[in-house]
Amino acid sequence: MSNKISVVIERDEFGYYAFAPELPGCQSQGANLDEALSNIREAVELYIEIMDPDEISEAVCREIITTTVEVRNAEAA
């Protein structure tokens, strides 16, 4: 059985930082995007291995949607 878990990835000066908002404390990193995705996938798999089925159901029933919005710079007004 597979589950979908939301993952947020941020790029910073050290590479990429990834975390799963539905799974508190589940995070990883990578030097590039592919490595970060691979590492967070592994972290999520290990995280849910120790959860009971009810906890997994509760975590995966949430839907987290991320997007971007464009905002005007106050100085440009």
What was the pLDDT predicted at 39?
Answer: 98
What CATH class has 8-76?
A: alpha beta
pTM: 0.78
Strand, helix or coil for residue 76: helix
What was the pLDDT predicted at 4?
Answer: 83
What was the pLDDT predicted at 1?
Answer: 67
Running DSSP on this structure, what letter comes out for residue 64? -
Instruction: Tell me the C-alpha distance between 68 and 35, whole Å.
Output: 23
Q: Where are the domains of the chain?
A: 8-76
Asked whether residue 77 carries a pLDDT value surpassing 60, the answer given is no
Predicted confidence (pLDDT) per residue in 8-67, tens digit:
999 999 999 999 999 999 999 999 999 999 999 999 999 999 999 888 888 887 777 888
What was the pLDDT predicted at 76?
Answer: 61
